[in-house]
Structure 1
Amino acid sequence: MSPPPTPHALIGAALLAAGRPVTRREVAGLLGLPEEAAARALDEFGAVLEGAGLGFTVEAVAGGYRLVVPPGLAAHLAPLLAPPPLPTLSAAALEVLAVVAYRQPITRAEIEAMRGGSAGTVVTLQERELVKVVGRSPAVGQPLLYGTTEKFLLEFGLTGLNELPPLDGADFSHLLRG
Structure 2
Amino acid sequence: MRQGGQALSESDQNVSIEQAVEAVLLTIDKSVKPAQIADAVGEALGVDIDSDVIRKAVEGLNSSYEASGRAFTIETIAGGFRIMAKPAFADVLASFHGHRASSRLSRAALETLSIVAYRQPVTRAEIESIRGVACGEVLRSLMDRRLVTIAGRAEELGRPMLYGTTRDFLTQFGLANLKDLPEIADAPAVPARLAQESTEQAPSADEGASDSAEPSMEGSQA
- Measure the CA separation in 2 of the matches of 1:139 and 1:80: 49
* Corresponding residue number in structure 2 for 1:8: 18
- Measure the CA separation in 2 of the matches of 1:40 and 1:92: 42
Contact 2:148 2:164 in 1 (8 A): yes
Moved more, 54-63 or 104-113: 54-63
Contact 2:114 2:191 in 1 (8 A): no
- Describe the shift of the 1:98–1:74 C-alpha distance in structure 2 as closer, same or farther (beyond 3 A): closer
Moved more, 24-33 or 144-153: 24-33
Identify the structure with bigger relative contact order (alpha carbons < 8 Å, sequence gap 6+): 2
Residues 100-139 of structure 1: pairs in structure 2 closer than 5 A: 100-120=116-136, 121-139=138-156
- Which of 81, 89, 95 aligns to 2:111? It is 95
2:158 aligned with 1:141: yes
One-letter amino acid matched to 1:128: R
Alpha-carbon deviations, 1:9-51, whole Å to 9, x = none? 2111111112210111112223331222221111111111222
Structure 1 residue 82: Cα displacement: 4.1
Contact 1:14 1:22 in 2 (8 A): no
Structure 2 unaligned segments of length 5 or more: list them: 4-12, 43-48, 193-222
Contact 1:31 1:38 in 2 (8 A): no
* Percent of residue pairs bearing the same amino acid type: 37
- Measure the CA separation in 2 of the matches of 1:160 and 1:101: 11
- Which of 161, 177, 180 aligns to 1:160? It is 177
- Measure the CA separation in 2 of the matches of 1:77 and 1:122: 28
Alpha-carbon deviations, 1:60-87, whole Å to 9, x = none? 1111111111222343445532455415
Aligned-residue Cα RMSD (Å) equals 2.6
- Describe the shift of the 1:161–1:30 C-alpha distance in structure 2 as closer, same or farther (beyond 3 A): same
Structure 1 residue 123: Cα displacement: 0.9
Q: How many residues align?
A: 173
One-letter amino acid matched to 2:79: G
Contact 1:61 1:159 in 2 (8 A): yes
2:41 aligned with 1:31: yes
- Describe the shift of the 1:54–1:167 C-alpha distance in structure 2 as closer, same or farther (beyond 3 A): closer
Residue aligned with 1:68, SS: strand
Residues 165-176 of structure 1: pairs in structure 2 closer than 5 A: 165-168=182-185, 174-175=188-189
- Describe the shift of the 1:74–1:31 C-alpha distance in structure 2 as closer, same or farther (beyond 3 A): same
Q: What TM-score comes out, normalization by structure 2 length?
A: 0.69
One-letter amino acid matched to 1:71: P
- Measure the CA separation in 1 of the matches of 2:50 and 2:191: 46
One-letter amino acid matched to 1:152: F
Contact 2:110 2:191 in 1 (8 A): no
* Corresponding residue number in structure 2 for 1:45: 61
Residue aligned with 2:164, SS: strand
